[in-house]
Structure 1
């Protein structure tokens, strides 16, 4: 076995240099060169070399030119070379209030100066205030919150909460949907559908099955079969709009139909709004488009304002009360910490003060109309354009075309990317602060890319990029 040998001075020197770079607003050319080389080397040797292949394929001439440095505005980023990018990816949905919103940054900085993490023994006031805010803005009778750090944690908490509530009632089975994505921990992965993510980790949590998304008849048949077999369903978990599945929007009667079926068969209804929540679809929560309230709602991503990781699992009193007698049944050290709660409180304030959900609906419609017009001009490339609010997608005829579009937009200074479940679909998911002027720039650049692709396109091109696109989410 190879033994590590350490120069005691090297980690100290490296940490000093890293802190010095963090402290700087701008880098010298020599610092840029050093940081780029160090980043590539350390990804290869200490993070994951697989990411280099994926990143290389969307940078110019394979030179790893794009190493992120800072935000240059609410909707733009700059790399170490000083090149600016319009962000139409939004960190996969975390930058709803834009990059470095001053209200969110200020709240975190002020809390950091007082008490970054809580003692675990005394009551922490920001957790209490955030829980009340979420109870006030979420639909229906959702009342109690459990806080975590990520969407996966929110889903895990929801599944455990549903199990705790339903196990005394003899219920343990769960139904999820084909094309759904709920995270990659063992519990959340059991609800996630794509085989390439699931197969290396079998056996997963037992009791999960999947039915087609948007198909109420299939859901009813599965619920009925479970009941007739003496294995009644504990919960049904769905995204109101499938994000990683390719921005798949169900019919208007789907969510109300799920509510009716869950009530009829005694199952809890869990909405995973990790990606669709916080104004993304033109309302604060996507389930509000159909006036449907779940028993449990999962939030994360944008809840922290693009400044802090934070998630929330919100449930009705009836369901959450199973944790009243033993609040330590499901806990987390860092969930609901003061910095995260300060960020989330500020984010909710910004969402309401600036009415960003309305901007998402209005500017999102303008962007969607423009993308649909481009699709009509390039039918041999684009199969469909769809979306709601600022959650949009361009579906190409194959993975190779989708990947070429993402790369072309990157070269034009616009960030977009594929989706984890449906690789030929490119997500367009900008901050909700996007302006019409920036939309015009994005559409102009998208036209340039599509026109170039049209000139280069041969219909019989082999589809070889599925794996890379599946990563490029």
Structure 2
């Protein structure tokens, strides 16, 4: 899997690994990193579910990069569409009507739930959240927004303050008008629940009480990831999202669903909201809309919210809103997904391969506390002790405290699998185009690599 022969010769990229890394170290400033402590892998090429380095080591991309290459690397139809658009019209300001911009908006609106038929384009997911919050505040005339712990919404000003995990801490001034609450998560319940029904009811009661104590008339929106992504692929219990919708309606609060990670096939449906039959007032998207081939995100807007700006100017905009190259890549992506049954493939792989395979793996490894997910959107919650559910590493661990997860990640990479690891979890998030054989290849590597995590459990060394 990691031999020189595994890299397709037709896709080999010439270059000097040392020169690439030297230039990176001299000039590139990396996200979320202590710059002097990182050693980025120099990547030479990619195709489908794989990428490879200059030494010919090939990796099965079980991270989809940042859970965004839903159609895999270098899909020929999308590459061709970008090339064709570049030859015809590279860029045009957002104030003009452009054919590919209109078509991208039409195709997205055709797939969003309910009446979310107006599309505001951004450059990515964080800007989508920024603008959804701005729309909600202007539409309602209210200042505050509610967001959950265990969430990630982006790194720009409003988005990072909405985020409920440690990447927020360095930027959080406590003055951004954000009210935080706990969402449902039965495996680590904050509500002492023992069943999904109890967790749902108590989480909704907690949300309602928080709203009442904050003053419903001060709250513009509740912002939720439909299925929480980076913080653990947390599937909402049956009835929770419908309950949030009812609470919001009763208090005149908008519901904003963040589908940046969950949207466009990741859950085996076009949007995660389709699984729960819930229609938000605003829906944010990015990532899978064009698999990140060109930066693109946006907000799908309900008729009621859009009508607010029929005669009142919307106080926001971006130079590259609806960039033609990005929109062309989205049109090609959405058409390819429909023509090739990519969403259906994600559903089938999740149902027939990943779900059963991960549950079988969990039964063999004491480090696996819980398996959760759907489609090609899964997570393994890794623990030191199954009975106590103590996480394999402490919350926000670093240095020596993070060694168990680092050992596991290293074991994956040496076997040719690139994992998505966050805190005490490994996420299983291959492209929506992943084949059955590729999915099984990845599961086999995970099965072997989890022995490295097992070595750090209280069960280590016992005869099983």
- Residue range with higher mean Cα deviation, 357-366 or 276-285: 357-366
**Equivalent residue number for residue 250 of structure 1:** 236
> Of 357, 369, 374, which residue of structure 1 is paired with 2:356?
369
- Residue range with higher mean Cα deviation, 320-329 or 171-180: 320-329
**Equivalent residue number for residue 86 of structure 1:** 60
Q: Residues 159, 27 of structure 1: CA spacing in aligned structure 2 closer, same or farther, 3 A cutoff?
A: same
List alignment gaps of at least 5 residues for structure 1: 1-23, 57-63, 462-473
Q: Secondary structure at the match of 1:323?
A: coil
Q: Secondary structure at the match of 2:227?
A: coil
Aligned partners of 1:104, 1:205: CA distance in 2, in Å?
A: 42
**Equivalent residue number for residue 294 of structure 1:** 280
List alignment gaps of at least 5 residues for structure 2: 1-10, 185-202, 384-391, 394-401
Aligned partners of 1:41, 1:83: CA distance in 2, in Å?
A: 24
Q: Residues 261, 91 of structure 1: CA spacing in aligned structure 2 closer, same or farther, 3 A cutoff?
A: same
Structure 1 residue 328 displacement after superposition: 5.2
Q: In 2, are the aligned partners of 1:395 and 1:425 still within 8 Å (CA)? A: yes
The question of 1:349 aligning with 2:319 is answered: no
Structure 1 residue 442 displacement after superposition: 1.2
The question of 1:213 aligning with 2:216 is answered: no
Question: What TM-score results when the alignment is normalised by the length of structure 1?
Answer: 0.82
> Of 415, 419, 444, which residue of structure 2 is paired with 1:416?
419
Aligned partners of 2:227, 2:342: CA distance in 1, in Å?
A: 19
Question: What TM-score results when the alignment is normalised by the length of structure 2?
Answer: 0.84
> Of 154, 177, 181, which residue of structure 1 is paired with 2:148?
177
Structure 1 residue 224 displacement after superposition: 2.5
Aligned partners of 1:370, 1:361: CA distance in 2, in Å?
A: 14
Aligned partners of 1:49, 1:269: CA distance in 2, in Å?
A: 29
> Of 86, 96, 103, which residue of structure 2 is paired with 1:112?
86
The question of 1:450 aligning with 2:424 is answered: no
Q: In 2, are the aligned partners of 1:116 and 1:339 still within 8 Å (CA)? A: yes
Q: In 2, are the aligned partners of 1:187 and 1:205 still within 8 Å (CA)? A: no
Q: Secondary structure at the match of 2:117?
A: strand
Q: In 2, are the aligned partners of 1:236 and 1:270 still within 8 Å (CA)? A: yes
Aligned partners of 2:316, 2:72: CA distance in 1, in Å?
A: 33
Q: Residues 279, 120 of structure 1: CA spacing in aligned structure 2 closer, same or farther, 3 A cutoff?
A: closer
Aligned partners of 1:247, 1:119: CA distance in 2, in Å?
A: 37
Q: Secondary structure at the match of 1:137?
A: coil
> Of 5, 18, 27, which residue of structure 2 is paired with 1:33?
18
Structure 1 residue 51 displacement after superposition: 5.3
1:407-450 per-position Cα deviation (integer Å, ceiling 9, x unaligned): 2111111111223xxx1111111100111111221122222222
Q: Residues 55, 123 of structure 1: CA spacing in aligned structure 2 closer, same or farther, 3 A cutoff?
A: same
Q: Residues 48, 225 of structure 1: CA spacing in aligned structure 2 closer, same or farther, 3 A cutoff?
A: closer
Q: In 2, are the aligned partners of 1:104 and 1:305 still within 8 Å (CA)? A: no
Aligned partners of 1:300, 1:120: CA distance in 2, in Å?
A: 18
**Equivalent residue number for residue 119 of structure 2:** 145
The question of 1:313 aligning with 2:324 is answered: no
Structure 1 residue 178 displacement after superposition: 1.3
The question of 1:391 aligning with 2:377 is answered: yes
Structure 1 residue 453 displacement after superposition: 4.6
Q: In 1, are the aligned partners of 2:265 and 2:288 still within 8 Å (CA)? A: no
Work out the number of aligned pairs and report it: 414
